[in-house]
Amino acid sequence: MLTAVVQFRQRLNGNKLLTYSHMTEHTKTDGLSAQAPAAATQDAETLSASQARVTGAVKIECNACPVLCQISPGRSGACDRYANQDGMLIRVDPVLVLNRTLKGVEPALVPFAPNASEEAWAGDLVHANDVFITGVGSSTTYPDYKPAPFIVGSQIDGVDMVTVVTEGIFSYCSLKVKIDTDRYLGPEQANVLCRGEVVGHVTTAEYGSQMLSLGGVHHLTGGSKKEGRITMEMMQALGNKEAAELSIEGGAQLVIQAGRAPIVNGVTEQRMRVGCGSAAIGIFAQQFFELADEVVVVDDHITGVLTEHQAGCCLNMRPSGISIRGRRSTPGRYFQVANPGTGWGGTDISDPLAIIEKWDSKRAWPGLRLLMTSTTGEHAAWFVLDQDLIPQQQEMPTAVQTVIDRIGENCEPSLTTVLFLGGAGGSLRAGVTDNPVLLTRAIKNALVNVTCGGAPAYVWPGGGITVMVDVLRMPDHSFGTVPTPAIVAPFEFSMRLEDFKNLGGHLAYVRPLDEVLRSGAWHADGAPTARQWVMQPTQNPWPLGQPPQLG
Ligand code: SF4
């Protein structure tokens, strides 16, 4: 019989207060929930017996992952995601439900099926157009032959839809971190360490940003146990929008957090550069014209020199006779003017004149006005050549300062961006269909919308289902861990019912939304305690928008 009251609060593990959600699996012999589809009953009873066994008088074995914790009553397993509540194995966190109807309302924890003693939620939860069950808190399909815990049928604009909802366990996953700064963080390929363990490396810098590749199967499984554990914890923290302290071999100390300014060697970064030195010359050439006779924009990658640059030539600027150190790429564009560092423009220099090799006495003239600036305008200095053609620093003219301020104004705030990259091409697919490659093909044919906690996921071309998602677009605390070690992440596959049938989906497990909300996962015997996450109007597209029909 369906258990209607499903919200439990109880102290577990000392002082930890846990809110129980749905009963994902259980030890009783009656197998499935009364709400389980008849066609599924036989399989599910068999599965139930192996999913959670009573291993002694009171302990339960959880096999939601290969660790197979033996959980005593009132205790949770090693990952804190499952617990033994009165002899039942339950998923500790509530299922997260997206609701787009309450625009402008702060996200709140809202129990869906509270105790009779608590005030019932009168929210508009059963309109399929406005409600989306996410994988956050949904429980997993492990061992993978099980259908996903939630396979939800709904009707959107007259079209029958199905969303397959699960939490995936990922050994193959990583974080790509973009750090908006010119500052040198460390050599490309250098190891990134967290609490003394190697957890990733510096990868190819992008335009105005330094990039890190963190986590991944090599660090999760290929090193020591400690390396795997610290890698996992670091990934969970960053995925859940928390801060992580990292150090780079031969480089900087970092504190990074998704959506926040990076802290490099204890200094909070402020500005992302307006462009490289050459781009800054091009953008501001006209504004420098007639205010200065020469402008040098110092940049670790491409330093720009106005009078030589095409922009200066187009303005008919008189050559200044300046010679810059480093390697000349094309007129007015120089590479390697100094070593990388945390000084001017991502170089190691603190005196900008250090990059000037000489002045051509036939071209330069006393009184020549020279502006030197970094790509963010954070460093800038004004010089005038004396009779011996030696630059003498003087106070910056107001009009020139205005252009420097304009450079600063055009710099965007320096931020850290964290993308989760995971391979859902493995056994996760068995939760959708008996013939997993058909799901892969359907995704590649754009018949399936893949989301992670309701956030849109970019699916990489090529084989498998390798997805990338911005953790800032996911609900808070979307990521969990299991000590194998691996990361737990929510996944949802939404498609037309017709396409679900065509890819051999687990049709017997499709249940209407209101039934899912009433009864919980198909292998549960209690409804979920749903946490509600309100979609803000400017956030993600609604996951149940119909995918385009190809061909
Ligand atoms: S680590 Fe978590 S999911 Fe794995 S067996 Fe233990 S309680 Fe279950």
pLDDT digits (tens, 9 = 90+) for 473-498: 999 999 999 999 999 999 999 999 99
pLDDT of residue 142: 75
Ligand 1 contact, 512 CB (< 6 A): no
pLDDT of residue 103: 46
Of the candidates 439, 457, 437, the residue with the CA atom closest to the CA atom of residue 448: 439
Residue-wise pLDDT tens digits, 258-279 = 999 999 999 999 999 989 999 9
Place of tokens 């590479």: 335
Ligand 1 contact, 66 CB (< 6 A): no
Ligand 1 contact, 69 CB (< 6 A): yes
Transcribe 125-191 into DSSP letters: TT-GGGEEE-STTS-B-TTTTSPPSEEEEEEETTEEEEEEEEEEEESSEEEEEEE--SS----TT-E
**What is the percent of the chain with per-residue pLDDT over 90, rounded to a whole number?**
65
- Answering whether pTM is above 0.85, one says no
pLDDT of residue 539: 66
Q: State whether residue 53 is helix, strand or coil.
A: strand
Query: From the CA of 66, how far away is ligand 1's center (Å)?
Result: 7
pLDDT of residue 13: 28
How many whole angstroms separate alpha carbon 314 and alpha carbon 251?
Answer: 40
pLDDT of residue 113: 41
Which atom of ligand 1 lies closest to the CA of 483?
1
Residue among 27, 81, 142 whose CB has most ligand 1 atoms within 8 A, to mutate: 81
> In this structure, are residues 424 and 491 in contact, taking their beta carbons and an 8 Å threshold?
yes
Which atom of ligand 1 lies closest to the CA of 81?
2
Q: State whether residue 442 is helix, strand or coil.
A: helix
> In this structure, are residues 99 and 125 in contact, taking their beta carbons and an 8 Å threshold?
yes
pLDDT of residue 17: 27
Query: From the CA of 81, how far away is ligand 1's center (Å)?
Result: 7
- φ and ψ of 403, to 5 deg: -70, -40
Ligand 1 contact, 483 CB (< 6 A): yes
Query: From the CA of 551, how far away is ligand 1's center (Å)?
Result: 44
pLDDT of residue 515: 85
Check whether the bond before 413 is cis (ω within 30° of 0): no
pLDDT of residue 117: 36
Q: Could you say which residues of the chain have pLDDT below 70? A: 1-57, 100-129, 524-539, 546-551
> In this structure, are residues 451 and 164 in contact, taking their beta carbons and an 8 Å threshold?
no
